[in-house]
Amino acid sequence: MKIAILGYGTVGSAVVETLLKNQDLIKARCNEEIIPVIALARSLKPNALIPIVNDIDEVLEREDIDVFVELMGGIDLPFEIISKILKRKKSVVTANKALLAYHRCELEKLAQDTAFGYEASVAGGIPIIKILKEGLSANNIVSIKGILNGTSNYILSKMTEDSAKFQEVLKKAQDLGYAEADPTFDIEGFDAAHKLLILANIAYGLRVKPEDILIEGVSKVSDEDIYFAKEFEYTIKHLGIAKIKDEKIELRVHPVMLNKDKMLAKVDGVMNAISVDGDVLGESLYYGPGAGGKATASAVIADLIDIARKEKNSAIFGYLNDTSYELLNKDEIYTRYYLRLKVLDKIGVLSKITHLMSEHQISIDTFLQKPKKEKQDYSTLFFITHQTYEKNIQILTQRLREQEFVKDDVFMMRIED
């Protein structure tokens, strides 16, 4: 089986290296040789292990290619290219979660009996798509909660363990090949949102776009939040959450305060982990490397092996499960909240804050005023509220921002119990 790689970066080169390194084993597993014959790259790579070209037509025009592996990134261009390839009845494997978050259903429909694999798009090497489509296919999925962005988890772990500064750790994650070409996708939560939408689409048949859901990243988490979390036995994690609530689907991506004894709280570094709650099985947890060339290559090659085996399994072949589920309105999210704000340290400030809270039906569960250094005029206050609606907390944070005694921004994070 001959393959072409569209995009020869960290992942593309890892796919080729692994196919060559494990070629005997791979042949034994699918009874066929999987041969990378050509790759497309922006610039020619002198040390590449296979011929590299920078004209896409040179690759697409080759009739001898059986499978095209799309690792270019972006949305519109790969959508156009993959559509063309699938119309020619040639198989495609992609790791492109942004593309799939927008166009998975259209592409699967177009593929029909042609193989279209995308295991590598969610959680790197963890075979979570197979798990949902095959292993858990007897279950109604009650919830999915996942650490889906390795870069964010790496940053939060290093800020917690080593008191490292955000920018330094981000730079290291980029050097290690974990971060997206544009790291905003990682640190503002979009990458995790793309992955969550793919999982929610498989689990619930829900077709919504990233702009329809609540997305926040780790970029505003500070060392003060880490300090509070440690004091009160929480760990800060960035989670993608999909769950059934009142016959609707709640979807959100944001940093959370998680009780430090929860299993997801113990997942550190670039690792990903996904907890799936099924109505028959109950909770199961999947853990593994979620970013980097090798992890992604492992999932890309698993799809290639499935194609070589000509298995018409549901992980590769068309599987659409439209349902009547609707998305839960963001305002109706109901949870506990953490608030951090810097205020002038003077008489009456705390009472004004608690008054605003009671006006908006918000009750305090935990409060901490961080002792300030002698010469400072401002104090940092931390609150955890009892459960309330997102709508209430959004109005409250807006009102707090308007107060003349509040300095800087008011930071809010949700608690995941």
Given the rule CB under 6 A, which residues bind ligand HSE? 124, 149-151, 178-180, 186, 191, 290-291
Distance CA 273, CA 285 (A): 7
Nearer to ligand HSE, 12 or 150 (CB): 150
**Known binder of ligand: residue 119?**
no
Place of tokens 């206050």: 381
The least CB distance from residue 169 to ligand HSE, in Å, is 12
Kindly report the three-state secondary structure assignment for every residue of 129-169: HHHHHHHCCCCCEEEEEEECCHHHHHHHHHHHHCCCCHHHH
Nearer to ligand HSE, 117 or 124 (CB): 124
**Known binder of ligand: residue 161?**
no
The least CB distance from residue 350 to ligand HSE, in Å, is 40
**Known binder of ligand: residue 205?**
no
Nearer to ligand HSE, 68 or 154 (CB): 154
The least CB distance from residue 64 to ligand HSE, in Å, is 31
**Known binder of ligand: residue 323?**
no
Residues in Cβ contact with 6 at an 8 Å cutoff, skipping those fewer than 6 apart:
39, 40, 56, 59, 68, 69, 70, 71, 72, 78, 81
**Known binder of ligand: residue 388?**
no
The least CB distance from residue 291 to ligand HSE, in Å, is 4
Distance CA 35, CA 1 (A): 6
Closest Cα to residue 91, out of 293, 294, 306? 306
Nearer to ligand HSE, 99 or 415 (CB): 99
**Known binder of ligand: residue 7?**
yes
Q: Identify the active-site residue in 195, 237, 243, 342.
A: 195
The answer to whether 62 touches 38, Cβ cutoff 8 Å, is yes
Q: What one-character DSSP code corresponds to residue 42?
A: S
The least CB distance from residue 81 to ligand HSE, in Å, is 20
Q: With H, G, I as helix, E, B as strand and everything else as coil, classify residue 328.
A: coil
C-beta neighbour count of 386 within 10 angstroms? 12
Strands 91-94 and 116-117, bridge-based pairing: parallel
Q: How far is CA 84 from CA 7, 24, 78, 96, in A?
A: 17, 32, 10, 16
The least CB distance from residue 370 to ligand HSE, in Å, is 31
Distance CA 113, CA 383 (A): 54
Distance CA 102, CA 11 (A): 22
**Known binder of ligand: residue 6?**
yes
**Known binder of ligand: residue 18?**
no
The least CB distance from residue 158 to ligand HSE, in Å, is 13
Nearer to ligand HSE, 127 or 278 (CB): 127
Task: List the structure tokens of 349.
Answer: 């400030």
**Known binder of ligand: residue 13?**
yes
C-beta neighbour count of 383 within 10 angstroms? 20
Widest distance between CA atoms in the chain: 78
Nearer to ligand HSE, 149 or 380 (CB): 149
* Burial bucket for residue 321 (CB in 10 Å: 0-12, 13-18, 19+): exposed
Place of tokens 């699967």: 108
Place of tokens 């990903």: 272
Residue 162 φ/ψ, nearest 5 degrees: -110, 5
The answer to whether 357 touches 364, Cβ cutoff 8 Å, is yes
Direct distance between the N- and C-terminal alpha carbons of the chain, in angstroms, rounded to an integer: 48
Instruction: Decide if 195 is catalytic.
Output: yes
Distance CA 95, CA 98 (A): 9
Active site residues: 195
Binding annotation for NADPH: 97
Binding annotation for NADP(+): 6-13
Binding annotation for L-homoserine: 180
